[in-house]
Structure formats: structure tokens, C-alpha cells
Chains A and B, each alone.
Chain A
Amino acid sequence: MNVKENEVVGYCLRVLGDDAEALVETMNEEAFAALQESIVRFLDEEAARGDASPFARTDLDLPPGVKPFRSILFEDRGSNGSRRIVAFSFREAASATALQLLGIALAVFSVKLTLAAVPQILGVLRTLWSKVIVLGRPADDDAIDVLETIVRLRAKRRVNGDATLPTLREIQGALELEGDMVVRALQKLSSLAVVEVVIWGGQGGNLADSDNAWAVKL
């Protein structure tokens, strides 16, 4: 499957179902552009590694007479009115899933989505990617499910104008997993510095506290 430059954000968010539409509507133009550009540049960097990369890049030429495309990666004409467009394909399903999770995470946890901050956002994305991509199913099923739940719960709240973060109790409630398994998954994600407790429910340092509020660590 090919995902074109203009489709990457929608591709990431589509796992949110109906919330995807509401989520992009909460973003101003610059925040959206920064998110899109960060993901596209990240995919491009990754694809440049060639066969070692889970992503492949395809350049598509627009035929003469067709309106130029506002490409992020090509700046062939004047003020970014390129006649080419870039598409990415995924060599493995796990990479696609990881990208989707990180795309949503950036959308809902980033505090500064601006065009000027794209280099920093890109750096965050690279770091997170290196940590998340080592998780694989079925060995890391719980960790992946917990990460996805944190991201989904936060997205749902963002859409409803709620600024709070999901607690361990809420994460457990959303998953059909035993409490210990969720805590173990969070410990693993925490040790990888993928997630963090932002607000401690009780005694600081107790990851198992049900009132701990969790976020993806950007």
C-alpha cells in the first residue's frame, strides 16, 4: 500500500475511527502542518536507509498540465509548487502500526507543534521510534496494547476538550488484561522511556498506583 505525502496524518489517525476527524479539527493550521511535515521527513529519512528500512519511498511525477502539488519534500517550483509527489510503502505490518501509534502520540501529547519546532519534533520522533520499533508481537503484545490504549484514551479526551491524562485505573479499565499485566507492561514501556508518569497518584516512584497519570514521553 502506498501512502502519499498528503495522506500520512490521516493514515496514522485512522485507527481512532470517528475521533480522527474531531482530533484534526482541534489542531490549528500550523500545528497540523508541523505534524505532517515531521512525519513525512521522518519517513523520508528512514526510507533513505534502503533495504534496511521498513519503509520504501516512491516518487510520482505529475503529468504536464496538472496542477502542481504542494510537496513537502520537493521544492521544484517557486514557493513549493512541486510537480512531483512522494509516496511511502510499508514492508512490514509492525512498522505501520508503530508509525500510527507515534503519529497519534505526537498529535495528542506534543505541547509545541509549530513549523519552527519541526527539527525538534523530528528528533523526538526518531528517539521514540528507536524505542518502540524493538517491541514486537507476540512477545510484547501487552506493552503494545497498553501504549495504544494510552494514546487512544488521550486522543478521546483531547477531542472532548479534556486536558487530563489517562490513569492506570482507566488504562486497566479499557483493556481486557489483568492489573498486574498492565503494570508490568507499563514498567517495560517506562524502562524504555516510551511512557512516563506525569502526575503521581500517591507515593512518588510507585508505578503500580492506580491514580498515576500516564503520558507518552516526548
Chain B
Amino acid sequence: MGRPGWQPRRLRQRVGGEAVSETHFSLADDASVGTFHYPLGLVAFTISPESLAFVAAGCKRPLPEDEEEQFRIAAEATSLVHEMRHFFDVFGTWAGISLLSTQLHVLSEFVALCDAMRRAGMRWQMPITDWAAGPDCCPEIRLFVRRALAIEICTDLFVSPFTPFEIDGHRDELLIEVDYAAGGKADAFPSQVFRVKSLDDARARTVLHPFGFEALLEGNAHAICRQLVSQWFPEPVQQRMKGWMRTLSPADRDGIVDQRAAQTALPYMSTDLLVSRFMQGYGINSFPGEVLLHLSDRVLSTNRLQVFPELVEGASAVQFDRLGRAFVDLLEDSGPAAIASGCVPPRDDVDRVYDTLASELSAGGDLSTISDDYSPASSISIWQTYIAKTFIVPLLRRRLATSHRAFTSFDGFLELLPVIGLPPARVPNGKLVLERMPQRVQQAWWHCLILLDVLGQLVRGAAFVSCPRAFATVPGITTMNLAFQGKCETNLRLGCGTFPSEMVPACLFAEALKVCSLRRSS
């Protein structure tokens, strides 16, 4: 999740029952000004000295004349706020907490299985997806791989971090259902565009924007940033913020143009565009900006990803709600008049759910109650407990104390920022800073980072495992040395960073390989 920074996926679209084409997603090349990595609570943002000076002066400093410069300062000045909103939406909503707990749940199962395998002298055979499908894989491992893969796919569908793509003609529905190549279906909002060759030659096209957890979070963060920009910046910058898209040459490097409009698209305006189309259907052309926060927060408060704890052959491992469908249902249930007045009818059960969740998390012991044997399992418990006590419970309490205003209004969000403070991991201008966390929690954070990364690669069927430090899967990680002796930089030159490999230095990644039962302990 970030600005822009999407993960690439493959999505095969199917519209109206007709297979249209298969699209290969492409990773954006443009520079990102911020990203948020949800299982790690990591916020990365960029702020240049000029933008910092602008913010430090209370956003009242004279701006440079150049509009491009003004826009850059606007993007950078709001970068931290944008990513912090993601942080709050993940750690302070039912949907976000379910996503976090799902990731940590499957990680716990993985660590437990690896532990059992290590004690039995077994090692994973890669790709594990092929191994699990073969006859020589034991049932427990096969079951875990299937389950982890199902969770991975359902998480993809829930979050929908897909790259948009184009189809011919104009579609005017609120949502279109799209097949995902890995299985299942995702929601997409169809926005109408024209591919113009000349005044007489305009071809109608539709860009399908994935509409899931990511679209809701990006819509929320962007709505807040637009509100801030409207206070600090001139009209042209406000308009550019509203229509923010990637700037690309007309054709890609292979001379292909037919997906170019989709490739310029960013996920920030999907919720706004969808609500606009809904309202226009009733002849209403405007609505209060804050209603986007209301709508998204309600959807994020009443829908979730749910993992079933039992590992039972044949049972469904995971269930998820379709957030796009839920968003449209909420619009229709609320009605255009309520939306136009900025109201979303209240739901009593939301308070009850959050109150129960906050009470349960508060009732659990703190870090000192965890029996810590410095194992990966202990690290997962420590990380889980730390984020629950430090962020989730305070966010939920604040939500309840403000009758959700902290999440549904611009002012409420701005008041929340100093209450919660900095995220546990942050990367200002590329440098990873973990100082907010106690030492053992930092260690637990590193364990979770590497184990989540290794698990993700295995489940996606990697033939080899790459080190997250070597391949910079997390912003700022290259500023850290994970080698126990010597330096990562030197070891990387000598060929470390992938497994299996001849070069295995003494480092955190090598330890993770042993813990994950990929490499024999020496």
C-alpha cells in the first residue's frame, strides 16, 4: 500500500461472462513518496528540506512559483499524514485488525510446523507448492501449504492490490466482477476514458480499478490529504491532487499503447469516483468530502477476513467479505439523500464489536507476561502483544470515545495523530528508524519481517528464497546490517542473498533459513 508502490499481480478479467483478455501487470517505475507495510506497522515517507521547511513554518511559508514544485511540496508535505492514515485504518478497524491477525496467525502455524519438521529432521523441498502436490509429501505439510495458499489468495482478493487495466467501450455500472488468475473474484470500479487520436477519432475505453481494502484505505488517506492541500495550496495544485495520475509516454517500451490509460491510474480516487457515479444516478452532483471517510470506515468496521483455526482436511481455511460489494450495498442502503447530507445511518452492533475487541485485547497480559525463550514463536507473541497494547487498544478506545469521529472526520483524524504518536517503524527519506520500540520488540519485529517474507516466497512457489535485506523488500532495510560478522554489503557482493546458494554468511537471514527448516543447523 503506498503512493504509488503497488504489488504486481496477475489478474484475468472476465466481464459479462466473456473472457476479454489476460493482462500482465506491470510495476510502476515512478518514484514513490511513501509506502505503508501493514503487518510490520512500517511507514515510509519522503520529505525534502524545502517541504520540511514548509511544514515547520505551519504550512504558511511562501511557495515557489513553479506549479510542478508546488505539487511536489504538496505531495511530500502530506506524505506522512497519508501513510499514518493507512496505519490507523489497519490498526484501528475491524477489517484491518483481521488482516493483521490473519498474517500473524498463518505465520504462527508456519513456525510451529517448521519447528516440528526440524525436530523430525525434515526439510522443505522447493517449490513447496509442487512438493505439496506430490505423493511424497506428508499430509500435515500438504494441508498447511494448501491452507497458506488459500489464505494468500483470499488476502489478495480482500486487499485487491492489483494493477488496473483497460477494456473496450464504456461501462457505467458501479462495480464489475473480475476473475483473479489465482482463483476467486475481485471487484472493480469501471471508469470511463477516451483514447483520442484526433478530434474525429476518439475511442471509448473503460479502466477497471480494483476495489478492495487498498482502494478504501487509499481513498481515505487521499481525502484527508486533499482537505489539507485545499487549506495550504492554490487551486491548480488542489486540482492536480484530485486528478493525480502517473505521467507516462504514450507507448510503453515495446510500443504497446492499449493499456496506457490504465497504467497512468492511481488508486486514490476510486471511492470518490464510485460515490460520484452513484449520486449522479440520482441527479446529484456533489456530496461532502467527509462522507467518504464515513462510508469507508463503516465498510471497514463491518467486514473482515477470517481464518478458521482448525486444520481439517477439506475444510475451508479462510473466508473474506467483498469490500467493494459491501461499499455499494452501504450506498444503496443509505440512499442519496443521506449521502448528500454527509450522513451514514448508524449501526449499533459496530460499537459492540469494537468494545468487545478492545476489552479482549486489554485483558490479555502485557509483554512481561510472555514466556520468552527468544524463539520465533515468542517473537510473534511479543510483536502481537506490543501492537495490541500500544496501538490497537488506544485506537479502538479513542474511536469509541469520539463516537467514531476520530475515523470519520478530518478534524477527528488530526486530533488522533498526536494521541497515537509515531508508528513503531518508520522510514523518513530512506532511513529505517525503530527507536520507538523496546529492544526485544525490535528483535521480534525483525524476526516477523524475515519470517513473513520467507513464508510469502515459499507459498508463492519460489524455486529459491531471496533475502529481504538483499532484495530490499522493505523500505529502508538496506540501511541496516543484518550480518553477525562483517557487513551485509560485502557479503552481498560475494553472492549471498539467495538460498540455496554456496554463500551463506552468519546473519539473520541464515538463521531464519535454519528456523524455517530450509537449511540444516550446523
**Chain B interface, >50% SS class:** loop
| 8 A Cβ contacts from A55-76 to B | 60-69
Q: Which residue of A lies closest to B486 (CB)?
A: A21
Contact of A66 among B28, B462, B491, B503 (CB under 8 A): B462
Q: Does A9 lie at the interface of the complex (its beta carbon under 8 Å from any beta carbon of B)?
A: yes
Q: Does B472 lie at the interface of the complex (its beta carbon under 8 Å from any beta carbon of A)?
A: yes
Q: Give Cα distance in the complex from A69 to B467, angstroms.
A: 11
Q: Give Cα distance in the complex from A6 to B8, angstroms.
A: 23
23 contacts between A and B (CB under 8 A): A4-B495, A4-B501, A6-B470, A7-B501, A8-B495, A9-B493, A9-B494, A9-B495, A10-B503, A11-B495, A21-B486, A27-B493, A60-B463, A60-B464, A62-B466, A63-B460, A64-B10, A65-B7, A65-B460, A66-B457, A66-B460, A67-B468, A83-B8
Number of interface residues of A (CB under 8 A): 33
* B461/A20 in contact, CB under 8 A: no
Given the contacts A20-B494, A65-B7, A77-B26, A7 and B460 also touching, CB distance less than 8 Å:
no
Q: Give Cα distance in the complex from A68 to B8, angstroms.
A: 10
* A65/B8 in contact, CB under 8 A: yes
Given the contacts A62-B462, A69-B466, A10 and B471 also touching, CB distance less than 8 Å:
no
Q: Give Cα distance in the complex from A66 to B453, angstroms.
A: 9
Q: Given contacts A32-B493, A63-B460, A63-B461, list 20 more A-B pairs with CB under 8 A.
A: A4-B501, A6-B492, A6-B495, A6-B497, A7-B502, A7-B503, A9-B493, A9-B494, A10-B502, A10-B503, A11-B495, A27-B493, A63-B457, A63-B462, A67-B466, A69-B466, A69-B471, A77-B27, A78-B29, A85-B498
Residues of chain A whose beta carbon lies under 8 Å from any beta carbon of chain B: 1, 3-4, 6-11, 13-14, 20-21, 24-25, 27, 32, 60-69, 77-79, 81, 83, 85
In the complex, what residues of A have CB within 8 A of residue B412's CB? none
Q: Give Cα distance in the complex from A61 to B28, angstroms.
A: 19
In the complex, what residues of A have CB within 8 A of residue B457's CB? 63, 66
In the complex, what residues of B have CB within 8 A of residue A78's CB? 26-29
Count of A-B residue pairs with CB < 8 Å: 88
Q: Does B428 lie at the interface of the complex (its beta carbon under 8 Å from any beta carbon of A)?
A: no
Given the contacts A14-B494, A21-B490, A79 and B29 also touching, CB distance less than 8 Å:
yes
B1 to chain A, nearest CB (A): 14
Query: Would you give the 0/1 interface string for B479-509, flagging 1 where the beta carbon is closer than 8 Å to chain A?
Result: 0000000100011111111100111000000
* B495/A7 in contact, CB under 8 A: yes
Q: Does B335 lie at the interface of the complex (its beta carbon under 8 Å from any beta carbon of A)?
A: no
In the complex, what residues of A have CB within 8 A of residue B462's CB? 62-63, 66
Q: Which residue of A lies closest to B465 (CB)?
A: A66
Q: Give Cα distance in the complex from A60 to B457, angstroms.
A: 14
Given the contacts A11-B502, A66-B462, A24 and B27 also touching, CB distance less than 8 Å:
no
A99 to chain B, nearest CB (A): 14
Q: Which residue of A lies closest to B182 (CB)?
A: A64
Q: Give Cα distance in the complex from A65 to B460, angstroms.
A: 8
* B461/A6 in contact, CB under 8 A: no
In the complex, what residues of A have CB within 8 A of residue B8's CB? 64-65, 83
In the complex, what residues of B have CB within 8 A of residue A11's CB? 495, 502
The CB with the most chain B CB atoms within 10 A, among A1, A20, A67, A85, is that of A67
